[in-house]
Structure formats: structure tokens, C-alpha cells
Structure 1
Amino acid sequence: MTATATQDIPFFPPDLFDDDRDTLLRVLYETGTDPSQKFILGARTAELERALAERTGTDTVACSSGTSALTLVLTALGIGPGDEVVVPAFGCAPLASTVIARGARPVFVDVHPTALTMDPAAAEAALTERTRALMPAHVFSTMADMPAFRALADRHGLRLVEDSALAQGGTLAGRPAGTWGDAGVYSFVQVKTFGMPGEGGAVLTSDPSLASAVRMLRNHGQDGVHRFLHHRIGHNSRFDEVMAAFQLHRLGGLDQRLERRARISAYYSARFADLADAGITAPPVGGDGRCHYVYTLLAERRDALRAHLAAHGVATHVYYPRTLPAQPAFAPHAAPGGPWPRAASAARRTISLPLYPHLSDARVEHIADAVCAFARSPQEGNP
């Protein structure tokens, strides 16, 4: 990394797809003028599904978003009123909202203190006779302990839904993120590792009957052969043909972009490895089960660090400043006074730094320098 200071570094870059603009215009024209006039769930979507299936070794069903993917999976699994689904107390809202939308109850459990993913031991302690499924989620840059969750689900006869919306490209014990559960999900929203200029997602499963059910559910309960024959109550969760063509174009460069994200993350972690005494905890450098969607620190004086970085031209972001049980929408569904201390600590301390493939070396070093300067400053850095 070079030592040229650069400021005004956005957290959400406005130029994510600048290099692909001509391609986007081309596929828009080609799709719009295609004699088939098929704008959703056409040949391009099928081709994208095949390409993703080849990467993961699963049946892949493209749908309208990561949230919709979770909804389709829970519906296909028959999760409904009276059922309980064990979810982490720290994470994105769909972990709870999709369960509640099915009439089921999310059972919130605490997370690992540094990985911030759902704790398998806490999950097992929360099981009841009503538990139907476990729904761990990969968070920021670390996959959940999927071998432990797979064993737990098998031991208790539960379904395992893997929320890998943030983790496409990650692997654990040689298995891609999204392939450990009965089903996994991806999200293609623009800032994700396989993001696109719109909404989209996918369901991954090795269960043919589950894949068939998800395909039917995404298109109003139709089977894809007989139009206007609705076999069950479904959803509108169809994939756009323009976006399918665009993602097929971007898929070829995905591994290179993931590698760049990993190198930036490794540089950050190497620079921040000795900052614990200043109240800053960084993810480890590399290792199995890492994914590099967002680079997140735990900072005892988060607000002061955010202000310091902003003064040095570095935009940051705080994901999930409240635990899920503390959200007004979900509090009525949570156990009163539930013990989620590690989730609460994470919500108080997380701060995410810019991480995207075209972030220059100079900017990466400037960001790291600014964090380290904060940690070295007795006035600012001491917790």
C-alpha cells in the first residue's frame, strides 16, 4: 500500500457500476428488443441460475430479493403459526420479519462476542417442543459456525435455513456459503459482494422438492408450464431479465473482486491487530469461513471514532445500532428481558469502514492511518 493521503472517502461509493455502464445499456437494449418480449423469468434468468448452480453445486432459484428468498424458503418448509424459529438477536431485520410474516415466532438468542454470529450453544439452550427451524446468519466478514448448526439441526430433527445474504463467495471447510442448510439465500442488492443496480436474490438448495416449491411460490404458485394455473398461494418474487443478463456479465469478475476485498480486509486487520488496548477489536487476518462484504470493528468509543474519521474525510456506517429484540417492531415477539448481552454490546460498539473492490491503495492506507491515529491519541483513543 502506498502512503498517499486521500480524503472524502464515501462508505457507499456512487460509482460501483461505472465500468459496466455500457454493458448495462447494451443488455437493456437487447432485452427490450428481443422478439420473445420476455422481461421476467426468461432465458437469461435460467442461464444465471445455471451459472450460480455450477459454482455452488446446488439448485439455484433466482428471486426478487434476499428478504423474499427467506420468505420463500420459510413458506416452502411449511413454517407457520405455532412454530418457533431460532434466530440471532443481532442482525438484519428480515431475520425476524420473515418469521413473523409466516405467523411463527422468532426466538432470539445471543451471539459470539467477536464473530457476532449466532452462538450454537445459546441456540440449543433455546430449543422447545415448538422449534421447527434454526436460522443462523453470516455477519459482516465471518460465516456462522455452520458445522455446529448442521449437527444441531440433525440432532434435533430441525430444518436449517442459512442466511448467507452477505456472504456470497465465502467458504467454510471447503463448502460455499449458502450450501450448509436445507436452503441458503443470497442477496444481490447493489453493495453486496455480487451486487447489481437493483434488487435481487437467490435460494440455494440440494433438495429437489424444496427447489420445486420455491420456483412455484416465486411466481404466484404457478408451475412455470401452465399459465394461470395456481397450485398454491404464492408470491410475486420474479427475477428481471435485464438484471440477469447484467449479472451474467459481472459473474466473470466476481472472484477478482472478492480477492481485492480480501486483500483490503487483510491489510486493515494487520494494521489494527495491536489496538485492543485502545478499545478497538479487529477481525483476524484471513482464515477459514471469512467473507468480505463489510469490514467491521468493535470500538469502545465508537461515536468518537466515527467523528475522528469523518474529520479525516472517511465516511463510516453503523449497522444494526439496536438488537432485533430492542426494535419496536419485534419487541412484542421477544421474550421479556431476554439475556442478549453480547448482542447488545455489539450494537453499541460496531463501526464499519469502507470496503469495495475499486478502493485504491492510497485510500485504504489513509483509512488505516486515521484509525491508528485515533488509537494512539490519549485524548481520543483511550476507552
Structure 2
Amino acid sequence: MRLPFFPPDLFEGDREHLLRLVHEIGTAPSQKFILGEHTARLEQALCEQLGAADVVACGSGTSALTLVLAAMEIGPGDEVVVPAFGCAPLAGAIVSLGAVPVFADVDPRTMVVDPADMERRITARTKALMPAHIFSVMADMPRIAAVAERHGLRLVEDSAVAQGGELAGIPAGLSGEAGVFSFVQVKTFGMAGEGGVVVTRNAELGRLVRMLRNHGQDGKNRFLHHRIGWNSRFDELQAAFQLHRLPGLADRLERRARIAAHYTERFAELTAHGVVAPPPGREGRCYYVYTLLAERRDALRAHLAERGVGSHAYYPLPLPRQPAFACYARPGDAWPAAERAADRALSIPVYPHLRDTDVEYIAAAVREFALVDARG
């Protein structure tokens, strides 16, 4: 691929710094490789940047979701309403605690969960709502927060892909009681390994998550376990690397947003030709990936590949159609917008070190498919 979907040289510019960190941390007298001073500094830096009450670094974005739900004491007999279209951890974290995921349909244009459908699926057993931001659009957190308040439910924000996004003046992750970010390498604040954080305005919830990530220990008394917990501790090398990359995050996010704006402008006329771009603007946007809805998705993917452009079709099945979660689907239930999204969604490159000429080349290739190919 001339322009791969995710570049293999994502951290090339930071190679020397990363190698220095490996040596410094590996030879430091403290020999502290997890949950040390670098992790604490990263948590504090993100806490100040977001205006959160607490930020807790964890082993992955997936485990961050599990820890938040566990801290809320969600378990057997409880239901959590989630989007029907999205990443497996949305349902997997719930199931791992013995609770039941209830699937709500999504908006047919943005592919984020429909707040009205979430509310329709609330029952006497519902304990929490867990919306997710997806691709380049944030879920409608003000409306979902209102639903949660009306019904007295907990609200967890799966903001794994949305770090840097903001909606109604609130950063992604902080509209609910807690949110999560993922640092896996392809995310907006990706790193050379696994990791994530829980972000929260609730200091007590943060304290519980901090305890659960380290086998239920409180950090003061080692080998004193207050609750059953997990091993979801953060790596010191990765924390130091993220501290190094944090000052450049705003510029990288800005570049992603500008690339997305160019795409959206160039694709505005393609709706009538079966290729739909995300809604324009920056409010409630998080350009982790840029995702089109294409009537002939597989043909568009092949067309781009012929021109050396990588693309990716996420989530080929809605969650309740996945073998792992099909048993939680209610008889006769349907998710038409999620089914359609699974058949049509195709993501194209939007990473920040694409050159302007690369961006226009990709845009032109999509336009060629929609316009020239449509005319035969």
C-alpha cells in the first residue's frame, strides 16, 4: 500500500527517545517497572488537562471499562444498555462481571447509539447506561445524561476512541460518572503497547478503581486486599513515553481535524451517489478514524486498494449478532440501523502525518469511485 490505513512508522519520530527511556528505566536504582512515579505524573497531567477529579492508569481500555463497572458494583442480575454497533468490550466487560448487555440501535447517519432507543430498552433490572463514541462522532451525551437522571441510572462513557473530543463544553469521558481512554497504538493518544485510563469527576469512584486495578490493594498496605480485584497495572516505560508525547497531542488532533474537514468538504456531493461522509463541524468530533457509509462498501474498498490506499471495515456484525453475545439478544428484537452500518461502514486514513498531497489523493480516489464509476 502506498498509503496504508495505519502507518507502520507511527512512532518513528520518537524512536530515539523511546530507546533512551528503555535504558533509563531499566537501569534506574529503584527498578520500578509498574505504577511508579512516571505513572503518577501521567495521571496528574491528564487530570489537570481534563479538569477531572481523578485519572487512573490501567492495563488497557477494556480493563478500564471492567474496573469502572466493578467499582459501581454491577454484577449478576443487572442489565447495562449499550450500543448494538461497536467494539466487543462494550458487551464483554459487562458479561465478564455476570451482568447482561442490552443492545440499543444506533443513529443511521452517525452510527452512535440512539438515546431514544436506549431509553426504550430500560427495564426494572437496568442499572447503567454505557454509550460509546465511535469513529469520528461522539454520542449525544447531554440527552443520554438526561435519560440516566430520569431513571436513576449509572452512566459510564465509553470514550476509548475520543480523547481530545469535546461536546457542550465537556471533554470526552467526563459527561458521565466515569469514562475511559484507550492508548493502544492506533488511538489518538496511542503508544507502543497496551494501556488506558479511567477518567472521572467522582473522587470516590476513582479511589475504588485504583484499588481494583491492583488486586484490591489500597496502595498503602501491600498484601492487604480489601476487594477482589484485577491485575491492570500501568507500565512505567509506557507512562514515561506518554508524558513525552503529551505536549504534541493537541497539534496531532488539530491535524486530524483538518484532514477530516478536507474530506468532508470533498465528499459533500457524494451522498446522492451512495457514499455518505460524517456530519461536518468540530463540535462533538473525535477523529480517531474517518468513516464513510458506502452502499457498495466492498467495491469501494477494492477500488481504493487498487490505487494503493488502505481502508478498514470495522465491526462486520452488530454485537447481538456476534456468536459470543447472541444469547443476550431478546427474541424478536432488531437493530436495523446497526445492521446497515455493519454492511456499509468503511474507514479511510486520517493519521496526522499524512501530507496534504496524500489527503487529496485519497479524497480524489473516493470521488472517482462515487462519481466516475457511477457514470459508467
* Pair in the same fold by TM > 0.5: yes
1:342 and 2:320 aligned: no
Secondary structure of residue in 2 paired with 1:8: coil
1:140 and 2:140 aligned: no
1:125 and 2:120 aligned: yes
User: Within 5 A, what are the aligned runs for 1:70-149?
Assistant: 70-149=65-144
Deviation at 1:98, TM superposition (A): 0.5
Q: Are 1:132 and 1:158, in contact at CA under 8 Å, matched by a contact in 2?
A: yes
Deviation at 1:336, TM superposition (A): 2.3
Q: Which residue of 1 aligns with 2:48?
A: 54
| TM-score, length-scaled by structure 2 | 0.98
- Distance in 1 separating the partners of 2:112 and 2:310: 25
Q: Are 1:150 and 1:160, in contact at CA under 8 Å, matched by a contact in 2?
A: yes
- Distance in 2 separating the partners of 1:289 and 1:382: 35
Equivalent AA in structure 1 for residue 160 of structure 2: A
- Distance in 1 separating the partners of 2:209 and 2:24: 29
Deviation at 1:27, TM superposition (A): 1.1
Equivalent AA in structure 2 for residue 127 of structure 1: I
- Distance in 2 separating the partners of 1:311 and 1:239: 41
Unaligned 5+ residue runs, structure 2?
A: none
Which digits, 9 at most, give the CA deviation of each residue in 1:135-194, with x for residues without a partner?
A: 000000010000011111111110000000000000001110000111100000000000
User: Within 5 A, what are the aligned runs for 1:155-174?
Assistant: 155-174=150-169
Q: 2:228 aligns with which of 225, 228, 233?
A: 233
1:10 and 2:7 aligned: no
Q: Which residue of 1 aligns with 2:349?
A: 354
- Distance in 1 separating the partners of 2:171 and 2:110: 18
Q: 2:311 aligns with which of 294, 316, 327?
A: 316
- Distance in 1 separating the partners of 2:176 and 2:21: 34
Q: Which residue of 1 aligns with 2:190?
A: 195
| TM-score, length-scaled by structure 1 | 0.97
The percentage of counterpart residues that share the same residue type is 66
Which digits, 9 at most, give the CA deviation of each residue in 1:208-234, with x for residues without a partner?
A: 111110000000011111111111100
Which digits, 9 at most, give the CA deviation of each residue in 1:106-134, with x for residues without a partner?
A: 00010011111110100111000000000
- Distance in 2 separating the partners of 1:262 and 1:304: 27
Q: Which residue of 2 aligns with 1:39?
A: 33
- Distance in 1 separating the partners of 2:203 and 2:279: 38
Q: Are 1:279 and 1:382, in contact at CA under 8 Å, matched by a contact in 2?
A: no
Equivalent AA in structure 1 for residue 208 of structure 2: A
Which digits, 9 at most, give the CA deviation of each residue in 1:34-88, with x for residues without a partner?
A: 1111100000000000000011111100000000000000100000000000000
Displaced runs of 4 or more, over 6 A = none
- Distance in 2 separating the partners of 1:216 and 1:382: 61
Equivalent AA in structure 1 for residue 374 of structure 2: G
Secondary structure of residue in 2 paired with 1:275: helix
User: Within 5 A, what are the aligned runs for 1:213-362?
Assistant: 213-362=208-357
Deviation at 1:28, TM superposition (A): 1.1
Secondary structure of residue in 1 paired with 2:352: coil
Deviation at 1:382, TM superposition (A): 7.0
RMSD: 1.1
- Distance in 1 separating the partners of 2:280 and 2:330: 37
Unaligned 5+ residue runs, structure 1?
A: 1-6
Q: Which residue of 1 aligns with 2:17?
A: 23
Q: Which residue of 2 aligns with 1:64?
A: 59
Secondary structure of residue in 2 paired with 1:325: helix
